[in-house]
């Protein structure tokens, strides 16, 4: 997810439409849903002062805007930097910017269509279904490891994020691309440093560190790409290097951007959803044994986890031309925000929207987005979550919280710092 910020200030915003909430305030970090309830109470878009742009919180609005082609992740294909007040690229983020240049999340058609077509087949449901045995094996291996008495003899609890939620998706996406499983910890470290660029209140220090991580990540991948050109394999990286569309192949820069996006996005949301989901289940008072009684119920439980405590709460887009949208005057280059975390708890769409209910009959969510930028890895993420959660509670039916979980200050992402648990 690339950071999109409002470039020129909005003008003539009615005071009645303005709303204020600091995304880094401790109370907001731990519970942004109180803020969202304020938005739902007025049933209208609001101008979020801290972000400096209009935000939409209803399920109806967010679903529609995610599909509306009058808004896009890219703006320089329809405007110049001077026209919209966009500054020139900064030298100290050049390496990071290179990794974003051909990111699927930053492109609009036809560039987006070309890249997505070449990558999409690796993530279709029938292909990722074949990964179930590998994901199940990993889940059991992770549980075996943190159940090892010798390894944890001085502890009476374990951080489930570090020991379970993070390694599984990182290893799976690395292996899909064609990178060794043992590289996953380093890939995670680079990814975590890079995604800090997308958070609210980025400092120059964060920019410099993210840029350094991007340079290290890029150097590593250039070496792997060179090796694959000499010795192709049956993996996604080889496919991206060799595949042709209309006689054209992807450039090294396009491959780099795509691989880094897949690695970063391929674990970030799944890690947060796994942690948030376990927390939701343990705090719900429900018997976990009833939540995974069949494939259908397991899928429903995962969808409710995605709805109830989403891993990404805000997704922004540029306005591609001057327009009026539902009474709001928008100029070309203006940013709008779609609050997926709020939309998922819209009381106009969901009964008892603020209650965790894996048995609800009105289940839905926008956690994977919609439209042309719908998450390409959604089928894989769903399978990973279904297997990870069902295996965890089957193996550890008496799992319980060892201490109150605390969310990390990473808005617009929403995930736990750690999840300390114990079991009998």
Range of the domain at 112: 15-422
279, part of any domain: yes
291, part of any domain: yes
**CATH no. for residue 224?**
1.10.630.10
- Give the pLDDT confidence score for residue 250 in this predicted structure: 84
Of residues 186 and 244, more confidence is placed in 186
Cα–Cα distance for residue pair 160/171, rounded to 1 Å: 16
| Residues forming a β-bridge with 407 | 416
- Give the pLDDT confidence score for residue 349 in this predicted structure: 97
9, part of any domain: no
pTM to 2 decimal places: 0.94
User: In what helix (H) or strand (E) does residue 264 lie, and over which residues does it extend?
Assistant: helix 252-284
- Give the pLDDT confidence score for residue 303 in this predicted structure: 98
Structural domains counted in the chain: 1
pLDDT in tens, 5-37: 787 888 889 998 999 999 999 999 999 999 999
pLDDT at 173 > cutoff 60 = yes
Cα–Cα distance for residue pair 298/387, rounded to 1 Å: 9
User: In what helix (H) or strand (E) does residue 19 lie, and over which residues does it extend?
Assistant: strand 18-19
- Give the pLDDT confidence score for residue 145 in this predicted structure: 92
Task: Report the number of secondary-structure helices (H) and strands (E) in the chain.
Answer: 17, 13
- Give the pLDDT confidence score for residue 3 in this predicted structure: 65
10, part of any domain: no
pLDDT in tens, 218-232: 999 999 999 999 999
7, part of any domain: no
Residue pair 77/70 in contact (Cβ under 8 Å)? The answer is no
């Amino acid at each position: 997810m690339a950071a999109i910020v409002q470039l020129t200030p909005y003008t003539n915003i009615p005071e009645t439409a303005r709303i204020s909430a600091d995304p880094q305030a401790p109370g907001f970090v731990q519970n942004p849903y109180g803020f969202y309830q304020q938005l739902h109470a007025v049933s209208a878009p609001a101008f979020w002062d801290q972000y400096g742009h209009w935000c939409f919180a209803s399920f109806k609005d967010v679903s529609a805007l995610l599909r509306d082609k009058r808004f896009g992740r890219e703006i320089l294909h329809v405007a110049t930097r001077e026209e919209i007040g966009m500054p020139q690229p900064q030298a100290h983020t050049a390496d990071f910017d290179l990794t974003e240049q051909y990111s699927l999340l930053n492109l609009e058609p036809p560039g987006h269509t070309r890249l997505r077509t070449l990558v999409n087949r690796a993530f279709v449901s029938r292909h990722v279904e074949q990964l179930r045995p590998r994901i199940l094996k990993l889940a059991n291996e992770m549980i075996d490891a943190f159940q090892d008495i010798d390894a944890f003899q001085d502890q009476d609890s374990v951080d489930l994020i570090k020991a379970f939620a993070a390694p599984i998706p990182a290893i799976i996406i690395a292996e899909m691309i064609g990178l060794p499983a043992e590289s996953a910890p380093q890939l995670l470290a680079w990814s975590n440093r890079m995604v800090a660029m997308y958070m609210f209140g980025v400092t120059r220090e964060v920019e410099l560190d993210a840029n350094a991580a991007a340079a290290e990540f890029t150097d590593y991948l250039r070496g792997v790409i060179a090796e694959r050109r000499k010795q192709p394999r049956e993996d996604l990286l080889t496919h991206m290097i060799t595949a042709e569309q209309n006689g054209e192949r992807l450039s090294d820069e396009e491959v780099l951007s795509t691989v880094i996006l897949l690695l970063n996005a391929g674990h970030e949301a799944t890690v947060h959803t796994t942690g948030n989901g376990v927390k939701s289940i343990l705090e719900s008072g429900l018997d976990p044994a009833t939540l995974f009684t069949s494939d259908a119920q397991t899928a429903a439980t995962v969808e409710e986890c995605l709805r109830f405590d989403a891993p990404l709460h805000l997704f922004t887009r540029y306005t591609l031309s001057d327009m009026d949208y539902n009474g709001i005057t928008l100029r070309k280059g203006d940013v709008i925000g779609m609050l997926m975390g709020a939309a998922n708890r819209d009381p106009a769409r969901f009964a008892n929207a603020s209650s965790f209910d894996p048995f609800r009959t009105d289940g839905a969510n926008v956690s994977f987005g919609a439209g042309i930028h719908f998450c390409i890895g959604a089928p894989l993420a769903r399978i990973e979550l279904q297997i990870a959660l069902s295996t965890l509670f089957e193996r550890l039916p008496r799992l319980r919280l060892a201490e109150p979980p605390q969310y990390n200050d990473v808005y617009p992402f929403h995930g736990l710092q750690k999840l300390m648990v114990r079991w009998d």
